[in-house]
Structure 1
Amino acid sequence: MAKNLRVLVVEDDAIIGMDIEHRVKKLGYEVCGVADTAEEALDIASRTHPDVALMDIRLRGEVDGIEAARMLRDTLAVPVIFITAYSDMKMRSRALDMDPLGYIVKPLREVELKNTLEAAEEKIRAG
């Protein structure tokens, strides 16, 4: 299967965002943008039509990543994979209620990112 999944990276830490972008590209996927707020994520997604968003739960601004994921899903039908350093049960429960394509706890391991993106791609391609 060709790796042509278009990925939007949403991460509030610029250095981590660049690292995730680099890793996603290294795995053979296309990064269609990097955002650090929900508003920026929605703007980029509306212009680039990503297949999936890698979404940090903590974002800059008033809207967190879980609500941003809801907006992406409801307005643009973009599914998400959550990436977070915070693994408390309440936050995890809120995130899992969004029915994400994956949930990765930082620090990000390349093999876990690879496996999660491959599984997400299979789900997306299957419809």
Structure 2
Amino acid sequence: MMKKKILIVEDESIVALEIQNRLEQMGYHVIDTISEGEQAIKKALETKPDLVLMDIHLLGEMDGITTAEQIRKKLKIPVIFLTAYADKETLKRARITQP
């Protein structure tokens, strides 16, 4: 059985590394850890992961919600948001992407 491929999009490198280590210990293949939305879209198109774990606040011009929208439009793959932000406006925007 092939390992499921996961792309991690997280701007805090320590958090990204911890998530990567845990996933690999559970037998998943982490394609890469990316900190910017534009790079995440490019990497997702190149590698076609089975799942994307997405932080909402990222480095660069594009936030995680916009990045998730673009990835889901182009690839139709699931995106799970990981975030410490739970304000109503952020949650409302995130729900639109149907994570």
- Code of the residue aligned with 2:5 in structure 1: it is R
Contact 1:11 1:17 in 2 (8 A): yes
**What's the counterpart of residue 29 of structure 1?**
28
In the TM superposition, what are the counterparts of 1:46-57 in structure 2 within 5 Å? 46-57=45-56
Q: Offset of 1:3 from its aligned partner?
A: 7.4
Q: Offset of 1:76 from its aligned partner?
A: 2.2
Two-structure CA RMSD over aligned residues (Å): 1.3
**What's the counterpart of residue 67 of structure 1?**
66
CA distance in 2 between counterparts of 1:13 and 1:95 reads: 20
Highest relative contact order (Cα 8 Å, sep 6+), 1 or 2?
2
CA distance in 2 between counterparts of 1:3 and 1:44 reads: 20
Contact 1:72 1:79 in 2 (8 A): no
Q: Which runs of 5+ in 1 are unaligned?
A: 101-127
Q: 3-state SS of the aligned residue for 2:16?
A: helix
Say which is worse superposed, 52-61 or 84-93, in terms of deviation: 84-93
CA distance in 2 between counterparts of 1:90 and 1:3 reads: 38
The list of structure 1 runs, each at least 4 consecutive aligned residues, that deviate by more than 4 angstroms after superposition, is: none
Q: 3-state SS of the aligned residue for 1:53?
A: strand
Q: 3-state SS of the aligned residue for 2:14?
A: helix
CA distance in 2 between counterparts of 1:38 and 1:77 reads: 17
Contact 1:52 1:79 in 2 (8 A): yes
Q: Offset of 1:4 from its aligned partner?
A: 2.4
Contact 1:12 1:35 in 2 (8 A): yes
- What is the aligned length? 99
Q: Offset of 1:37 from its aligned partner?
A: 0.4
- Deviation readout 1:37-65 (Å, 9 max, x if unpaired): 01111121122110110000000011100
Q: Which runs of 5+ in 2 are unaligned?
A: none
Contact 1:70 1:98 in 2 (8 A): yes
